[in-house]
């Protein structure tokens, strides 16, 4: 796969990327990093973004998550390694991503589970992160950004 365009090598793209990263850092102030990265990894898997799947799997590992937890994100419903709160977040991430596949969008059951575990600011951050990672996945897929070369911490460095 050949990358079509490196957004960060373009002046406007780099400015957009910096703002994107800044928003992500703001969201991480409201939520545990692991929760954010679980959302990012699952949404990236659904959207088929190789770069983001690589990046967020590595960020989870770098944050101390076991290989079992990282590897089982794609099959979280059939796994025992996620808490009730994490399961609620993964369901929200899936339903909020598969809007075209599920005409109902986010179910009332999933919303109730999320609200049981997270306060209003955290829910705002979760919904924002789901939107942000879906947008980032579109950049990666449209531009054919390949996975494999991401180094943990690179996103945080962009925001500085």
3 domain residue, yes or no: no
Count of structural domains, the chain? 1
E strands, 63-114, in order: none
* pLDDT value of position 159: 63
Q: Does 154 map to a domain?
A: no
CA distance 148 to 145: 10
Q: Could you list the residue range(s) of the whole structural domain that residue 105 is in?
A: 11-147
How is residue 155 annotated by DSSP? H
CA distance 155 to 87: 25
Residues 6+ away with beta carbon under 8 Å from 26: none
CA neighbor of 133 nearest in space, from 18, 42, 15, 50: 42
Could you tell me if residue 86 is inside a domain?
yes
Written as tens digits, the pLDDT of the chain (160 aa) is 799 998 889 999 999 988 988 898 899 999 999 999 999 999 999 999 999 999 999 999 999 999 999 999 999 999 999 999 999 999 999 999 998 876 678 999 999 999 999 999 999 999 999 999 999 999 999 999 999 989 998 877 766 6
**pLDDT for the residue 20:** 87
4 within a domain of the structure (yes/no): no
Residue 155 is assigned to a structural domain of this protein: no
Q: What is the DSSP letter of 68?
A: H
Q: Tell me how far apart the alpha carbons of residues 141 and 59 are, in angstroms, rounded to a whole number.
A: 20
Question: Domain holding 120: CATH number?
Answer: 1.20.1290.10
71 falls within a domain:
yes
**Tell me, what's the pLDDT at 160?**
63
């Amino acid at each position: 796969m050949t990358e079509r365009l490196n957004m960060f090598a373009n002046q406007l793209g780099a400015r957009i990327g910096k703002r994107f990263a800044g928003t992500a850092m703001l969201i991480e102030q409201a939520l545990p990093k692991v929760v954010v990265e679980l959302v990012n990894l699952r949404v990236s898997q659904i959207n088929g973004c190789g770069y983001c799947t690589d990046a967020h799997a590595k960020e989870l590992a770098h944050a101390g998550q076991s290989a079992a937890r990282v590897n089982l994100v794609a099959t979280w419903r059939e796994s025992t390694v996620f808490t009730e709160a994490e399961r609620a977040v993964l369901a929200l991430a899936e339903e909020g991503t598969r809007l075209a596949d599920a005409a109902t969008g986010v179910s009332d059951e999933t919303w109730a589970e999320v609200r049981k575990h997270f306060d209003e600011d955290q829910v705002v951050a979760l919904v924002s992160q789901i939107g942000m990672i879906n947008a980032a996945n579109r950049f990666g897929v449209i531009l054919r950004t390949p996975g494999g070369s991401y180094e943990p911490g690179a996103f945080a460095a962009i925001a500085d």
